[in-house]
Amino acid sequence: MRHFMRRWLNLDQYDGLTYSRAELIVWLTVAAMALFSVYALFAPDWHSTTPNVEDTALAWAALFYRSELLPLLVTPYIMGFIALFSIYKGRLRTSGLVVSLMVYTFSVLPVLLLASVDFYNSGYLVNIFLFLFATGLLNGQIGLLVAFIVSLVTFLLDAGNAPASFVITFIAQLVGGVIVGALYLRIAVLSRSEGVAEATVERIKLAEITTRLTQLASQRLALKEALDVAVELILANYPQFYHVQVFLNDQNNVNARLVASSGEVGEKLLARHHSLAVGSVSVIGQTTWQNTPIIAYTDDPDAIYRPNDLLPETLLEIAFPLRIGDNVIGALDLQSKTRLTLSDEDLSSFQSLADSLALVMDNIRQFELSRQRVEENERLAEQARIALQEVQRLNKRLIGRAWSDYLREQREATAVDIDLVTREIVEDNTWTETLEEAVRANTVVVDKGVVAVPLRVRGQIIGAMEFEVSSDTITQEDYALLQELSDRFGAAAENTRLVEQSQRVAQREALINVVSSRLQAMNNVEATLAETARSLSELIGAERVVIRLGRPQPNPTRSLKQAGD
């Protein structure tokens, strides 16, 4: 029936209270048409004045003898289809009025038209009160007032021969019925308002909890600390639950591990490293597997429930999946000592709470991962910096050793004095105080018109130069120029040293190749030894060369002497 109403009567256009009202009108319309059909076929209130069909109970058979029954028989069906068509077109108020008129036609008019019966009886009163309450239920207090007026007028039109006591009693009953109906409608409105108020309070409470949870994420708390605060927050706002805990799936979604739990029991469960397999026969296992809330009553033998020896008082356990998009990352578990009945709105609210908690957990986890990546990058950067410093230290050490060897082997002058006025160049290895200070302090030294600048190669000091200026004032631009000059000199000097070193290596390689060629030309050992000696004399200036082949023989005299010692 519901499928029929949704598909053919287009009830999806309604929502909330209007949907319930439209559904009620459809049910009343169908029920009224069905009852009228039964009544028309089998009720004994239809009487024929024809002698051949006296006291027949079939209205459709009596129709052949009383043509005035035709409108009475057809009208309720026409009204029913008009009401259903109004529902289909979205005219809810019109359909309510039509159904009210249909009830009136079905319950009151037959008594007026079939005057052969005594309508001052309880059945007649029931019909009028049925019309009264149906109209009030479908159209509110205004409809109730209109139905009261119509019912009163209908009664007065046919109560001319009725006793005065009956008329007064009926009017009093009718007024009482209106009052009762009005009170019922008022109570219904108040109940609906109370329900709306309660729903509003629940939404406000849910919004406050969600805001608090969002603040936990903004406070950059650790995940464990934030979840502990969230558990206590939920426990404080929903006293119907005595135990709250949060499970988090591992990276492979194999096990759901307990990460937060309330009270001393929670501390014991955390100490146990409590966990449940995803998909296991348990509330948590099925929630994380099916991605849907699971409700289990512990006294139900068919419930999916795994008892916990630390929580023997639990009568209800319900878990909600913690979802990020379509992925389940864990579950929010709530347990109660009472057998609660949760509505769809309650389930929706708690699922919304679980989704908010999942979002907070994901934000905190992403922040922790980002912080870990930053710390790892900082650690790698520090290692790279230390390694670079070590490379620079070794490089400076190698450059210093290379320049020490180079200056020691250098035969040309490595210290000169140049007089730019007389253009005289004098070799002088003495160090002035300013030169020594520049090398020792590794900085530009200015003393009474004399400026000394250290000469560096890749940070390694290889010397210093000194010159005289006419002014004692050295600007920052001058210092920058001197620093640039020092670096340029160091680069040029290093290039020169490397070129000379390459040339010496090339010369040695050439000499070694020549000697190798000579040795390969010899055809006996003695000639090879002689050529080797001559080559050593040419290469390194050796004055005496001693060559021995084979292994040394033991010397008996030396052995005895060593034994005596």
66 vs 48: CA distance, rounded Å: 7
Q: Does the pLDDT of residue 55 top 60, yes or no?
A: no
Question: End-to-end distance of the chain based on CA atoms, in angstroms?
Answer: 123
- The pLDDT-based confidence of 248 (bands split at 50, 70, 90) is very high
Mean pLDDT value across residues 166-173: 71
331 vs 322: CA distance, rounded Å: 5
- Say if CB 187 and CB 141 are below 8 A apart: no
Beta bridge partners of 248: 257, 330
Mean pLDDT value across residues 135-160: 72
Same domain, 21 and 154: yes
Range of the structural domain that residue 120 is part of: 2-196
In a domain, 211, yes or no: no
482 vs 451: CA distance, rounded Å: 10
Q: In terms of C-beta density within 10 A (0-12 exposed, 13-18 middle, 19 or more buried), how is residue 88 classed?
A: middle
466's enclosing H/E stretch is strand 460-468
259 vs 227: CA distance, rounded Å: 8
In a domain, 532, yes or no: no
Same domain, 177 and 250: no
343 or 46, which is more confident: 343
Query: What is the per-residue pLDDT across 358-397, written as a single tens digit (0 to 9) for each?
Result: 888 888 888 888 888 888 998 899 888 888 888 777 777 7
Same domain, 86 and 38: yes
DSSP string for residues in 293-347: -EEEETT-TTS-----TT-TT-SEEEEEEEEETTEEEEEEEEEESS-----HHHH
Average pLDDT value for the chain: 76
Same domain, 321 and 436: no
Mean pLDDT value across residues 229-237: 86
153's enclosing H/E stretch is helix 122-157
Same domain, 335 and 261: yes
71 vs 62: CA distance, rounded Å: 13
The tokens describing 167, both together, are 């008329």
Q: Does the pLDDT of residue 353 top 50, yes or no?
A: yes
pLDDT value at residue 127? 67
Tell me which residue of 236, 249, 339, 316 sits closest to 285, measured CA to CA: 249
Q: Does the pLDDT of residue 243 top 90, yes or no?
A: yes
In a domain, 405, yes or no: no
Same domain, 353 and 428: no
Same domain, 110 and 12: yes
- If one counts every other C-beta atom within 10 angstroms of the C-beta of residue 260, the result is 25
- For the chain, what percent of residues have pLDDT higher than 70? 72
Q: Does the pLDDT of residue 231 top 70, yes or no?
A: yes
Quote the pTM value. 0.48
- The pLDDT-based confidence of 461 (bands split at 50, 70, 90) is confident
136's enclosing H/E stretch is helix 122-157
Mean pLDDT check: name the lowest of 41-45, 251-255, 404-408. 41-45
DSSP string for residues in 336-368: ESS-----HHHHHHHHHHHHHHHHHHHHHHHHH
Could you say which of 307, 336, 371 is where a domain stops?
371
Same domain, 164 and 51: yes
pLDDT value at residue 179? 75
Q: Does the pLDDT of residue 494 top 50, yes or no?
A: yes
In a domain, 402, yes or no: no
Q: How many residues does the chain have?
A: 565
- The pLDDT-based confidence of 51 (bands split at 50, 70, 90) is very low
Same domain, 157 and 25: yes
pLDDT value at residue 333? 93
- The pLDDT-based confidence of 139 (bands split at 50, 70, 90) is confident
Beta bridge partners of 320: 332
In a domain, 307, yes or no: yes
202 vs 348: CA distance, rounded Å: 11
DSSP 52: G
209 vs 233: CA distance, rounded Å: 7
pLDDT value at residue 211? 75
Could you say which of 345, 371, 397 is where a domain stops?
371
Query: What is the per-residue pLDDT across 172-226, written as a single tens digit (0 to 9) for each?
Result: 767 776 777 777 667 766 666 665 556 566 667 676 777 777 776 666 677 888 8
Sheet containing strand 327-336, strands side by side:
275-277, 255-261, 243-249, 327-336, 316-324, 294-297
Q: List, in sequence order, the alpha helices (H) in 158-297.
A: 164-218, 223-237, 263-271, 283-290
Q: Does the pLDDT of residue 324 top 80, yes or no?
A: yes
pLDDT value at residue 10? 67
pLDDT value at residue 471? 61
Q: Does the pLDDT of residue 62 top 60, yes or no?
A: no
- The pLDDT-based confidence of 66 (bands split at 50, 70, 90) is low
pLDDT value at residue 48? 43
Same domain, 131 and 279: no
In a domain, 261, yes or no: yes
28 or 337, which is more confident: 337
Could you say which of 310, 339, 371 is where a domain stops?
371
Same domain, 431 and 476: yes
- The pLDDT-based confidence of 158 (bands split at 50, 70, 90) is low
In a domain, 287, yes or no: yes
Query: What is the per-residue pLDDT across 497-544, written as a single tens digit (0 to 9) for each?
Result: 788 778 877 877 887 787 787 777 777 777 777 777 777 776 666 677
Mean pLDDT value across residues 58-79: 63
Three-state DSSP class for 243?
A: strand
In a domain, 547, yes or no: no
- The pLDDT-based confidence of 287 (bands split at 50, 70, 90) is very high
CA distances from 449 to 336, 393, 445 (A): 93, 35, 10
Q: How many helices (H) and strands (E) does the chain have?
A: 16, 11
351 vs 346: CA distance, rounded Å: 8
Count of domains for the chain? 3
Query: What is the per-residue pLDDT across 387-412, written as a single tens digit (0 to 9) for each?
Result: 888 877 777 777 777 777 777 666 55
pLDDT value at residue 195? 54
- Say if CB 490 and CB 455 are below 8 A apart: yes
Same domain, 192 and 226: no
pLDDT value at residue 188? 65
pLDDT value at residue 336? 92
511 or 114, which is more confident: 511
Mean pLDDT value across residues 287-291: 92
182 vs 150: CA distance, rounded Å: 16
